[in-house]
Structure formats: C-alpha cells, structure tokens
Amino acid sequence: MKKILIAEDEAALQDALQKVFIAAGYEVEQAFDGEEALSKIRSAKPDLVLLDLVMPKKHGFEVLQEIKANEELKRIPILVLTNLEESEDVMKAIELGARGYLIKANYALKEVLSKVKEVLG
C-alpha cells in the first residue's frame, strides 16, 4: 500500500483529501505545518508528499528545499497543492524539485487523486 503525506494546514481540506486517498487504497499521514511535515517525511518516508506552500512554522518552499537537499529523502516525489498562482512561485517550486504544481481552486479532489496516481505510476 502506497503512503501519502498530506502537508496542509486547512483542516477541512486535509480531511477531504484524506478521505479521497483512503477510499482509493492509500495509506495517509497528515501534517498541519511545515515543521511537522519535515518530521513526518523523515520518519514515515512516504511514497509521495502533497505539499501546501503557505503553512505555519515553516513555509512549503523551505520544506521542499530541505527534502531535496537530503540524500535519503530527495527521491520522494513532491506535488505542490497551493493557492499561490504567480508564475514565479510555480517556477521556484519546479526548480526546487517539485514534480507538479496544482492550484487548489483549479482542481477537484478527484483530479488531485488522478495527478497523484500519475506521479506514482
């Protein structure tokens, strides 16, 4: 069973995503801020991270940077799911190693699930 870490500070969205992924047969870990996300990525070693950028304690860009700088973790695919729509943000996330960039308002939960399945193969 593939494990996904959802790093999202918005509880309602976190719960909705968790239900969709569990129903699709994934194991789900949750993190509600950037520091918790890094800690859980190190301990749980998920198969994929769904990462919000605007989070308390540590910004998603910092989380992404730290994951990609770590030899043990850098192969974990990161999909950014955020409200930040500026092209500079998209480019920065991709340059830092994100495998995809999804803007929350543009994707239904099922579409997010499809993107995750696509990245996980």
* Side-chain half-sphere exposure of 18, counting CA atoms within 13 A: 16
User: Does the pLDDT value for residue 99 go beyond 90?
Assistant: yes
Measure the CA–CA gap between 75 and 17, rounded to whole angstroms: 23
What is the per-residue pLDDT for 121? Answer: 86
Domain residues for 49? 3-120
User: Does the pLDDT value for residue 98 go beyond 90?
Assistant: yes
Mean pLDDT of the chain: 94
Give the global pTM. Answer: 0.94
Count of domains for the chain: 1
DSSP for 13-76, written as a single string = HHHHHHHHHHHTT-EEEEESSHHHHHHHHHHH--SEEEE-SS-SSS-HHHHHHHHHH-TTTTTS
Q: Are 59 and 53 in contact (CB under 8 A)?
A: yes
What is the per-residue pLDDT for 65? Answer: 94
What is the per-residue pLDDT for 46? Answer: 97
Look up the CATH number of the domain holding residue 20.
Answer: 3.40.50.2300
Determine the average pLDDT of the residues in 69-74.
94
pLDDT band per the 50, 70, 90 thresholds, residue 111: very high
Determine the average pLDDT of the residues in 46-69.
95
